[in-house]
Amino acid sequence: MSGTERVARVVAIIGAGTMGRRIAYGCAARGVRARLHDISEEALAGALVAVRALLETADEGDGPQAGARHGLVEACRDIEDCVREADWVIETVHEDLELKRVVLGQIGAAAPAEAFIASNTSSLPGSWMAESTGRPGRFTNMNFGPPEDLKVEVMGHPGTDPATTDAAKRFLRGLGLVPIVARREIQGYPTNRIWRAIKKESLHLIAGGYLSAEEIDRAWMLDWGTPVGPCGLMDVVGLDVVRDIENVYYKASGDPSDKPPGFLDRMVERGELGVKSGKGFYTYPSPAFEREGWLTASDD
Ligand X SMILES: NC(=O)c1ccc[n+]([C@@H]2O[C@H](COP(=O)([O-])OP(=O)(O)OC[C@H]3O[C@@H](n4cnc5c(N)ncnc54)[C@H](O)[C@@H]3O)[C@@H](O)[C@H]2O)c1
Q: Which residues bind ligand X (CB under 6 A)?
A: 14-20, 37-40, 43, 92-95, 99, 103, 120-122, 143-146, 237-238, 241, 245
CB neighbourhood size of 114 (10 A): 9
In the complex, least distance from residue 133 CB atom to ligand X, rounded to whole angstroms: 15
Closer residue to ligand X (CB): 39 or 295:
39
User: Smallest distance from the beta carbon of 7 to ligand X, in angstroms?
Assistant: 22
Please, which residue, 230 or 238, has the CB nearer to ligand X? Answer: 238
Nearer to ligand X, 115 or 268 (CB): 268
Residue 105 Cβ vs ligand X, minimum distance, rounded to whole Å: 11
Closest residue to ligand X: CB criterion: 17
The distance of closest approach from Cβ of residue 97 to ligand X in the complex, given in angstroms and rounded to an integer, is 10
**Minimal distance, residue 14 CB to ligand X, in Å:** 5
Q: Which is nearer to ligand X, 16 or 24 (CB)?
A: 16
Strand-pairing partners, residue 175, are none
CB of 210 to ligand X, least distance (A): 26
Considering the complex, state which of residue 31 and residue 93 has its C-beta at the smaller distance from ligand X.
93
* Shorter beta-carbon distance to ligand X: residue 63 or 154: 154
Give me the least distance between CB of 102 and ligand X, in Å please: 7
DSSP string across the chain? --TT--S-SEEEEE--SHHHHHHHHHHHHTT-EEEEE-S-HHHHHHHHHHHHHHHHHS--TTS--HHHHHTTEEEESSHHHHHTT-SEEEE---S-HHHHHHHHHHHHHHS-TT-EEEE--SS--GGGTGGGGT-GGGEEEEEE-STT--EEEEE--TT--HHHHHHHHHHHHHTT-EEEE-SS--TT-HHHHHHHHHHHHHHHHHHTTSS-HHHHHHHHHHHH--SS-HHHHHHHH-HHHHHHHHHHHHHHH--GGGSPPHHHHHHHHTT--BGGGTBSSSBSSS-GGGSTT-TT----
97 or 211: whose CB is closer to ligand X? 97
